[in-house]
């Protein structure tokens, strides 16, 4: 699966957040499978709807803890969440209008998201969440 399975290096040290992050890998995997079997267009729209639901729940959870723990890097982090929502909405509009490239764009965007947002940006709150007793 081109190395995009969840693995230990993606762990932010908090079980419930790791579980939510695994969901993005599952959606990425579903998208690969859909592309391979030639059902990309309808599947992309369905996966994007799932992604939007995921994003609302997941971002709210992280942002709740940022407020609870007065996390200092919250503004930059929230900015990335906002950009995620905007980008996904733009890809969804393309997918709905039948643009074939939207499936590939979504895959590239999600790959970049797991490697940049989870590995770099999310990792920064690891210490803060741990100091506040979250596991
Ligand atoms: Fe995040």
Residue 67: which domain range? 15-131
Instruction: Determine the 3-state secondary structure of 132 from DSSP.
Output: coil
Predicted confidence at residue 2, as pLDDT, reads: 55
Residue 6 lies inside a defined structural domain of this protein: no
pLDDT (tens digit per residue) in 10-50:
999 999 999 999 999 999 888 888 888 877 777 888 999 99
Predicted confidence at residue 32, as pLDDT, reads: 84
| Residue with more model confidence, 29 or 118 | 118
pTM reported for the whole predicted model? 0.92
Residue 2 lies inside a defined structural domain of this protein: no
Question: CATH number, domain at 64?
Answer: 1.20.120.50
Predicted confidence at residue 41, as pLDDT, reads: 73
For the chain, the domain total comes to: 1
- The distance of Cα 97 from the centroid of its chain, to the nearest Å, equals 23
Predicted confidence at residue 64, as pLDDT, reads: 98
Predicted confidence at residue 1, as pLDDT, reads: 45
Predicted confidence at residue 39, as pLDDT, reads: 74
Predicted confidence at residue 42, as pLDDT, reads: 77
Taking residues 2-7, what's their average pLDDT?
76
Q: Give 118 Cα–ligand 1 centroid separation in angstroms.
A: 7
| Residue with more model confidence, 43 or 118 | 118
Residue 9 lies inside a defined structural domain of this protein: no
Residue 8 lies inside a defined structural domain of this protein: no
User: Which residue is listed with tokens 């999600």?
Assistant: 110
Q: Give 117 Cα–ligand 1 centroid separation in angstroms.
A: 6
Residue 3 lies inside a defined structural domain of this protein: no
Residue 46 lies inside a defined structural domain of this protein: yes
Residue 1 lies inside a defined structural domain of this protein: no
Q: Give 79 Cα–ligand 1 centroid separation in angstroms.
A: 10
What's the CA gap between 35 and 52, in Å, rounded?
A: 20
Residue 7 lies inside a defined structural domain of this protein: no
Predicted confidence at residue 4, as pLDDT, reads: 73
Q: Give 15 Cα–ligand 1 centroid separation in angstroms.
A: 15
pLDDT (tens digit per residue) in 54-90:
999 999 999 999 999 999 999 999 999 999 999 999 9
Predicted confidence at residue 75, as pLDDT, reads: 98
Cα 30 to Cα 25, 27, 80, 87, distances in angstroms: 9, 5, 24, 19
């Amino acid at each position: 699966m081109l190395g995009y399975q969840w693995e230990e290096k993606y762990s932010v040290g908090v079980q419930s957040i790791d579980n939510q992050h695994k969901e993005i890998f599952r959606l990425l995997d579903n998208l690969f499978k859909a592309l391979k079997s030639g059902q990309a267009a309808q599947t992309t729209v369905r996966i994007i709807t799932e992604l939007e639901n995921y994003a609302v729940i997941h971002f709210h959870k992280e942002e709740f803890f940022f407020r609870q723990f007065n996390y200092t890097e919250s503004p930059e982090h929230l900015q990335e969440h906002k950009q995620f929502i905007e980008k996904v909405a733009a890809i969804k509009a393309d997918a709905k209008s039948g643009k074939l490239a939207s499936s590939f764009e979504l895959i590239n965007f999600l790959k970049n998201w797991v490697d940049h947002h989870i590995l770099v940006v999310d990792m920064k709150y690891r210490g803060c969440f741990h100091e506040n007793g979250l596991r």
